[in-house]
Structure 1
Amino acid sequence: MKNHFPRTLSTFGLAGLALCAVAAQAHDIPDQYLYIGGHASQYWFDEDELGPNSYDTVTLPGLQFGARFAPNWSAQAWWERNGVKSEITRERTHVSLALASLRYHFHDTSVGPFEPYAGLAVGQLRFDHRGRDTDKETVAGAEFGLQARVAEHWVFDIGARPLWTEWRDRFEGEVYAGLNLIFGATRKAEPEPLPAEPVVRDSDGDGVPDQQDQCPDTPAGVAVDAQGCPLDGDGDGVPDYLDACPNTPDGALVDERGCQVYLERDVRETLYVEFELNKAEIQQEFIGELAQLADMMRKYPSAQLRLEGHTDSTGAASYNMRLSGQRADSVKNSLVNSFGIDPARIDTVGFGEEQPIADNSTADGRAQNRRVEAILQATQREGLYED
């Protein structure tokens, strides 16, 4: 077999340079498509094995069709035919080549604008002699090539095939260039891009994002709750990191350091709680006044409450004395049972009709005298008062 490889490589190289001219128009090749096209190849024969009918080369135009059925795989049917003369007898013969090939495409690889591929081909080489029998032989080999999409519906294909032929165990080959019209092109759906992770800012570094932080600018290192606010264990409104007096009683009035504010002078409240005749039960409409008194006692948890019961002058003095005490006790029981005040903080006493504040000779005066005086007593603390 003559050495035609330099000529083959030269032809192949010229075709490659021609393709570079369309590189600027190249497009990505689809994942799947069908195609039909035409081509031209240059086929080299093994002259040493063909005897007196020796052939050199022949240009074979032809057609091809195929399917790219996966991003990396395609199958192709190939047919080409032309006349050729014997180098010795000058007899004219028609040569045709039919092939079926399976190609693997390096879909994620590129050589410039081209996608490389490699494959296997098998088929039949046929010689139609004038006036003589037709010679047929099986051929098989590999193929290597490059493809580029030069327009929306067109793919350019260039490659080479080294082939083994059945008769006399010859090795031949061809280079080719083809243009394919593609249709039914699809591309594998690209995965939806993941949404960008939102930028989470925590300006004060307390572990709670700014958009949830109800207390921005918390000092570094301060323990916070889920809303980003400093913890306030005793609920006095002064955060723990500033609270000089933790565990203040619930509801107690505190200063800016979180320490309990003590009552410094007695506070007297007159409760005009009406009772039914000869009874000590508190009517529902007067519960609101007791609620205010209970709230004041919670603000000053160290203060004691003194309840003084009074009556008008109607009835016997001894009876009024007893009734006034019962009414003071009734107020105490309501504070304890309805508002949760510690009974140890409340003292009661009855004065009967002895301390009127209005004229008992009139109905209005008698109504004012039927009362309970509530005295919230100042806390006796060492150094608070002078003798």
Structure 2
Amino acid sequence: MKVICSIIVVDFKLVIEKYNRETLMKHSKVISSAILASLLAAPSIASAQDNESAVEKFYVGPRIGLYGTDSERLGLDGTQVVSFAGGLDSIFGGVEVGFNFTPEWGYRAYYDYLNGDTQQSGSVDGRIFGFDVLYNFNQNIYAGVGLNQTKLGEINNRFVRVSAGYKDFVADNLAFTVEGAVQQNDGNLTEFMVLTTLRYYFGFSESTASTYESAAPAEPAPAPTPVVVADTDGDGVRDDRDQCADTPMGHKVDSSGCTLYAEREITRELLVIFPLNSSWIPADQKADIADTAEFMKEHPQLNVTIEGHTDSSGEEKYNQWLSERRAKAVSDSLVNNFGIAASRVTTIGYGESRPKVANDSAENRAMNRRIEAKLSVTERVPVQD
């Protein structure tokens, strides 16, 4: 909540630098709407911060900004024709919703309330409704193109809009953006805007695709028909000396007829490869996580440390953050989807510092975008003949 309030204060400081007290009073309806949208979003944001395994796909948030009209734009104030001086003479506030259907591509819809100053010393209301297709160049930089309908002073215009922006995550699921855009219609109106948004990214946890059940124990072999030779289980020790009846066939036994055991180390490794700039677990990687969970259930004394890694693309600070997110995503899958106790799983991120192979080709960089885990247990196993 403190973060949200701080960002809203910064937004309004920018507005105050452009507009005097009198102009802000005229735009009080827009400012009040933006504040109300931020406050309504705050409880959901606060209650969702503990969902660190969320996958960032769907987002929603308030937006506020300055709108620059074309000096050739005309409008109506009642029955009076009004004109605009051009430049940043209007203010707007609203809300946007979006969805990333891949790490790079997404789309969004937005609705803004618009209030503009006219050259006749008055102001007129309006609204903007639009849709953009967005491309994320990396974790921070994005651009978009889309269509919108802008109504100002009772005059409707359809525009093509091109935009570019910078996004910074201030919390796991909360991002602050700064964006600029320019739009053009078929009547040669060219208008522009600058804005900030506060996006909350909703996550989801994928449900387990299937239920894993332990195999039913094999039915014991029927006891052999008694014979004259008094060695019922066939282990080479007479029944009158055999202290372990029905020894399984093929097991070596001691002089008392009991199975001999030896210690053996059993090792299992987990490797999950991730897409570029993503902590989403690909569907074809989930079977190995399920097998690892079964192995841990069979050996409840085992704990596991999941190590996250990235390739050398991007900044070191971002790669460190991404490696920790990848390790946390696999940890949450073991706990939430397969019932492994959280106390048995720890995570650590190494960023780009421990490549599996040299980062000198696209194939090698793909191999370095991974998590690794190794489990080892020593158990007693029967000695076979």
Q: Same fold (TM over 0.5)?
A: no
What is the TM-score when the length of structure 1 is the normalising length? 0.37
- Larger RCO (CA within 8 A; separation ≥ 6): 2
Give the structure with higher Rg (CA): 1
What is the TM-score when the length of structure 2 is the normalising length? 0.37
